[in-house]
Structure 1
Amino acid sequence: MKEVVYTEAAPKPIGPYSQAVKVGNMLFVAGQIPVDPKTGEVVSGDIKEQTRRVLENIKAVVEAAGFTMNDVVMAFVFLADMNHFPAFNEVYAQYFPEKPPARVTVQAARLPRDVLIEIAVIAARG
C-alpha cells in the first residue's frame, strides 16, 4: 500500500510530487535541495553548508516516516561541480559513519534554483 509522507520539518514540495512515499518496508525520498524549511529560501554558503542542509532535510523526512538514517540503503547525489566532491564527502560521512548506503554521484548540468547539490535516497527496514 502506498503512503505519502509529509513533514513541516522539510521543505514543502514545489511541484506535483511528494516529499516521500512509503511502500511496505521501503521509503523513497524525493530529491532534496538546500532549502531552509522555515524560510523557504536556499541557504547561502559553500558546498559543505548546502550539503548539511540537504541531509538535515532528508533526515527530517526519513524520521517523519518512522525510519532512521541507518535505514538509508541507496543515495543518488547530484553535484553542480564535481570539484566539490571531497568537501561534500566530508559532510556526507558524518551522516553515515557506519555501514554507509550504496551511492551514485554525478555532476548535473543544472540543478533547481541553481543550488550546488541535490540528494534523493531510498531507505528500507528488514
Structure 2
Amino acid sequence: MRQFITEGPGLPKWSAPISHAVVVGNICHLSGQLSVNESGEYVPASALEEAKMAFGNLFAAVRASGFSIDDITFIDIAFSDLKDISDINALYAELFPEGRRPARTVYQAAALPFGGKVKVCGVAVRD
C-alpha cells in the first residue's frame, strides 16, 4: 500500500502537483525541498540559511510520513554554486551525528526552482 504525503505540520503548501513524500512499505521517498515557507513562498537567503530551511522542510516531510530523522539513509543535495559546500558540510555534521550520517550525493545544478541556492531530497527506511 502506498501513502502519498501532500500536507502535514510544518510542510509548505505546494503550487506544483507533487507529494512531499511517498511511503511504500518501510521506505519513504522524500521529494526535493527548498527554502520555502509554509505558504510555499521562496525565501531567498544565503546558501547556508536556505539549506537550513530546506532541511527543516525535509525533516517535516519525514515526520509527516511517520518516520524519524534517524530513519534517513540517503540525502541528495543540489547547489546552484559548489563554492557553498563547506558551509553545508558543517550544517550536515550538526544535523547528522558522526556514525549516523546518511549516504549522500552532492552536485551543482544549472538552475534550481525559484532561483534557489540549495535543494535537498532523500530516502528514509524503517527497520
TM class by shorter-chain length?
over 0.9
In the alignment, is the contact (CA less than 8 A) between 1:81 and 1:107 conserved in 2? yes
For 1:43, give the aligned amino acid.
V
Q: What's the C-alpha RMSD, in Å, of the aligned pairs?
A: 1.2
Q: Which residue of structure 2 lines up, in the alignment, with residue 80 of structure 1?
A: 80
Contact 2:14 2:40 in 1 (8 A): no
Where does structure 2 lack aligned partners over 5 or more consecutive residues? none
1:35-61 Cα offsets, whole Å, 9 max, x none, are: 011x43222321111110001101111
Aligned position for 2:53: 53
TM-score for both structures, normalised by structure 2: 0.92
Q: Percent identity?
A: 33
Indicate conservation of the 8 Å contact 2:26/2:126, yes or no: yes
Amino acid in the other structure paired with 1:78: A
Residue 118 of structure 1 corresponds to 119
SS in 1 for 2:40: coil
TM-score by length of 1: 0.93
Q: For residue 119 of structure 2, give the secondary structure of its aligned residue in structure 1.
A: strand
CA distance in 2, matches of 1:28, 1:40: 20
Which runs of 4 or more aligned residues in structure 1 lie more than 4 Å from their structure 2 counterparts after TM superposition?
none
State the aligned residue count: 125
Structure 1: unaligned runs, 5 residues or longer = none
Is the 8 Å Cα contact of residues 34 and 54 (structure 1) preserved in structure 2?
yes
Residue 35 of structure 2 contacts residue 116 of structure 2 at CA under 8 Å; is this kept in 1?
yes
Residue by residue, what CA displacement relative to the aligned partner does 1:28-86 show, whole Å, maximum 9, x if unpaired? 0100010011x432223211111100011011110111111110001111000000000
- Counterpart Cα distance in 1 of 2:40 and 2:18: 17
